[in-house]
Amino acid sequence: MSENLEKYLTSVAEAVGQSTLVKMTLSKPVQKHDDLRNVYVKPVLIKDRRLFAFTYHYERRDEVKNYDAEQMLEVLREMLPQRFLNAVLFTVNEDVTLLVSSKGKATIQTKKVQECREQNLEHDKQKNRLINPANPWWYQLGLTTREGKITADMQHKFKQICKYAEIVESLVKPMRFDGTVHIADMGAGKGYLTFALHELLTQKLHFEVDIKGVEIRPDLVLKINEIIQADGLKGLEFVESSIEAYHPAQLDVLIALHACNTATDDAIASGIKAGAQLIVCAPCCHKQIRQEMERSGLVDAITRYGIFLERQAVMITDTIRALILEYYGYKTQVMEFIEMEHTPKNVLLVGKKSDKPVDRDSILQQISQLKKQYGIKIHYLETVLKVGE
């Protein structure tokens, strides 16, 4: 194995010496549960010095360290194959791959490339983000330093926030609103996603907004409103209320992310009753339907296993929610919110108001069949909206 490893490192050294190295990747950790998932290497020019930036991708954070050519090769020797089993060297004219098997056998694969590659020596390239971490509220909310740098333990949260902004932008951009957009963010919690929504709509899309963050905990409402006032954010306010008790006079967009159990249904019902054009939910718990299924005593090859019963309850709960939205004239879609590695609660249920005719009888039949199959007497959202009456 040492012979092929030396050949590979020689190829890396030659690419460094000839300035043909475009990038490198190290992957497939030796330890499956290693917090360090992979490493990305690229040449950078810092104060007229050619260095190599190592980006260490951990489970919940990224770290970047810069090395000179000699240090770079030393780090590679320490990591291959003790830490990673795969490495790919990308040069301007070929790819060189090192593969180490679980038994320690190393092979090298070389592939000529046809496309024209060039080195990119830019350092600290600015990301084209919809959300700007330099805005003062992100520091006040605890996500960044005073200088606007995302803290290590909040990087996974900021990625989630940015992903949320991307999804909302794709949903809102094609829509047409008449004047001020009235939005309720139900169960807004610490306000991360509410502030992201306000920033996206006002700074990027230039909407006039009236956003209400609905939160039942008075201490959070007080704290967040102090931040809003300190930063002079217009069209944003937190109100102290439960989801069930909040009934907005005007509503264009209803947001409910991770509202627990039937609170998601209360939020959906509020949006439907107010005639919201857009309803966006990331459902959290699904206890009500699971309890219905357990009481029924009906089990099949899937639901007799507890973990599968839980997952089946999740799918049935959200499927009926989507069908009820369709019953009330919404075009629905279900998408992934964030990667499963961050949280298993990663489903986003979206409903857009539509003018197309609805076959309500067919929808009611689908709901009835699902309930009958799994021994469900009633879905909570049905009772809130009195579906079919």
pLDDT value, residue 78: 93
pLDDT at 282: 84
Q: Span 374-379, mean pLDDT? A: 88
| Separation between Cα atoms, residue 331 and residue 329, nearest integer Å | 7
Average pLDDT of the segment spanning 111-124:
70
Q: What pLDDT shows up at residue 339?
A: 45
Q: The domain 136-385: what is its CATH number?
A: 3.40.50.150
Q: What are the CB-based long-range contacts (under 8 Å, 24+) for 50-56?
A: 50/19, 50/121, 52/16, 53/123
pLDDT digits (tens, 9 = 90+) for 234-260: 999 999 999 999 999 899 999 998 777
Q: Which of 295 and 7 is assigned the larger pLDDT?
A: 7
The per-residue pLDDT for range 119-162, each reduced to its tens digit, is 677 655 545 678 999 999 999 999 999 888 899 889 888 988 99
- For every residue of 191-250, DSSP letters joined together read SHHHHHHHHIIIIIS---EEEEEEES-HHHHHHHHHHHHHHT-TTEEEEE--TTT---SS
Residues 9-58 have pLDDT tens digits of 999 999 999 999 999 999 999 998 888 999 999 999 888 889 999 999 98
Place of tokens 């989630």: 160
The 10s digit of each residue's pLDDT in 312-329 is 888 888 899 999 999 999
Whether 341 shows a pLDDT value over 60: the answer reads: no
CA separation for the pair 19, 314 (Å, rounded): 53
DSSP strand pairing (236-240 vs 209-215): parallel
Q: What share of the chain is helix, strand, coil (3-state, %, to 5)?
A: 35, 25, 35
What's the pLDDT tens digit per position in 184-233? 999 999 999 999 999 999 999 999 999 999 999 999 999 999 999 999 99
- Give the model confidence (pLDDT) of 78-93 as tens digits: 999 999 999 999 998 8
Q: What is the structure's pLDDT at 340?
A: 38
pLDDT-based confidence at residue 115 (cuts at 50, 70, 90): low
Query: Does residue 299 register a pLDDT over 70?
Result: no
Return the higher-pLDDT residue of 93 and 285: 93
- pLDDT of 344 reads 44
User: What confidence tier does 343 reach under pLDDT thresholds 50, 70, 90?
Assistant: very low
Would you list the domain boundaries of the chain? 2-112, 136-385
pLDDT over 70 (residue 369): yes
Q: Is the pLDDT of residue 367 over 90?
A: yes
261-270 in b/e burial notation, b at 16+ Cβ within 10 A?
A: bbbbbbbbbb
CA distances 194 to 19, 274, 348, Å, are 47, 20, 16
What does the pLDDT read at residue 45?
87
Q: Does the pTM of the predicted model rise above 0.75?
A: no
Residue 365 confidence (pLDDT): 95
Query: Residues of 120-132 as b/e, b for ≥16 C-beta within 10 angstroms?
Result: eeeeeeeeeebbe
